[in-house]
Amino acid sequence: MGEHHSTTAMMFGLVLRHLRKQAGLTQRELGRRALYDHTRISRAENGEILTPEPMVATLDNVLGAGGLLFGLRRMAESENRVPIVARVPGFYDGEPVILDMMTADGRIVRVTISRRQFTQLLASGALSGAFPGLAEPEQAQRVTRALDRPSRVDGEVIDYFRRVLAEHYSADKMLGPRSLLRPVLAQIDVLDELRRGAGAKHADPLLQTLAQYAEMAGWLHQDLGELDAAMNWTRRAAEWALCAGDTQLSAYMLVRQSNIACLTDDYAAVVHLAAAARRRPAELEPKLDALAAQQQARGLVMLGESDECFALLDQAADTLRDHPHVTHPNVPVYLHHYDVDALREQSAVCHRAAGRADTAVSILEEQIEKLPANVTRDRGHLTAKLAVAVVQTAHPDVARAAHLGQYALGVARQTGSVRIHRELRTLDSELLRRWPDDAASRDFHEALVAV
């Protein structure tokens, strides 16, 4: 049996044993129900053989596995992976690892394995869904050695997790939160375990990386509309950043908390948190100071202080023009991409709130035009904001707004982005309040409530 087949057999056997025990069956009883030799079931559970596909379909049906066993068996013939997330709940060698596997019908099957089995699977690349990039043997061996003995963690292991985080940032713009949250949480579990056993030399870099992952988890929860979880992860990120002595990341976490507060309509907190992030501007990454000013401006306009809002936005634009690149290399990933265009796009909500919907429309149209074709989630979010702005202009176009809303609704369904839904609910309210008898209004409302 080749290495790829051996890995598949191991995975298949672990899950088969778990499902059989969960069903309260002995190997003999399962054999009788499936009309299959119980000794071959025993060998399959031990990873010694690969069960033939027709029999796998029968076992899957008898155990109610929802296609999971069949999906695992098909891995032997292809490079396709079953969606798997690993959770490492503790530090000590005797404690197990929990694998969450998703069935074809969306259910989660939770399997407990030993740490030895976990490191074998990790090194084989079988967990590449949860740990992308570990198909490369040398990298996989580094991470598995560190998991076996966290004191062995080194800069290359930490750099691996930083690279994966940068990939998550790019993927989020395309895929949205639904596809990314589980892998991010799995990686936090592993990083937290490494933190517990790492030597003093690597403690601060690990804490800093943990803080950045926790911030990402907070962001993904926010996009899913789970604001309590979003705030909890963001505060946890702030704690880890403070422990790491990372003043830039600590300030960034205040901006993130300000952003979440905006979604709870606590605009005073939006202003206070963003202003706190800017308390020591001489020590602050200029791009971070601009981002905090932008967030502060957003709170001010909602409190009716438009002049102060736009003065801050002008100040932020000047800062970004003077500092097109970050001056601190290890600042949060978002700041590396934050520029005048990003500020201008974010300013649209301020123009809309200040009664300048026509300006907001122009800004959003311009920014959507600049987006790469594959940034699906971001395009959907900006399109939803554009649809709202269109009906708030001096000459609203109901048909166009509804058409834009329908497109954004499709993206919301695909990505799970509640931020898009939030904008679309605003659009729906506007359309029904002002044009309740319009066919486009009614069609959009029916599509929205059908989600």
Tens digit of each residue's pLDDT (9 = 90 or more) over 406-424: 999 999 999 899 999 999 9
**Nearest residue to 381 via CA among 350, 414, 353:** 414
Residue 110 — φ and ψ, nearest 5°? -105, 120
For residues 335 and 282, the model is more confident at 335
Instruction: Give how far Cα 79 sits from Cα of 74, 108, 119, 125, 135, Å.
Output: 9, 21, 20, 11, 11
Residue 433 CB contacts under 8 Å (≥ 6 apart), including other chains: none
Distance CA 126, CA 140 (A): 11
Residue 162 has pLDDT above 50, yes or no: yes
Fold that domain 3-124 belongs to in CATH: 434 Repressor (Amino-terminal Domain) (1.10.260)
For residues 300 and 149, the model is more confident at 300
Confidence of residue 92 (pLDDT cuts 50, 70, 90): very low
Distance CA 333, CA 320 (A): 16
- pLDDT for 1 equals 47
% of the chain with per-residue pLDDT over 90: 56
Residue 5 has pLDDT above 70, yes or no: no
* Mean pLDDT, residues 186-199 taken together: 84
Burial of 133 (0-12, 13-18, 19+ CB in 10 A): middle
Give, for 366, the enclosing helix (H) or strand (E). Answer: helix 357-370
Q: Which class is domain 246-354?
A: mainly alpha
Residue 57 has pLDDT above 60, yes or no: yes
Helix/strand/coil percent split, the chain, to 5: 70, 5, 25
Question: What pTM did the predictor assign?
Answer: 0.73
For residues 292 and 163, the model is more confident at 292
Q: What is the pLDDT of residues 322-364, one digit of tens each?
A: 999 999 888 898 999 999 999 999 999 999 999 999 999 999 9
Distance CA 14, CA 19 (A): 9
Distance CA 193, CA 183 (A): 16
The 108-113 sheet, strands edge to edge: 84-87, 97-102, 108-113
Residue 89 has pLDDT above 80, yes or no: no
Confidence of residue 50 (pLDDT cuts 50, 70, 90): confident
Q: Where are the beta strands (DSSP E) in 93-245?
A: 97-102, 108-113
Strand partners, 99: 86, 111
- pLDDT for 298 equals 98
- pLDDT for 90 equals 43
* Mean pLDDT, residues 140-145 taken together: 56
The 8-class DSSP code of residue 279 comes to S
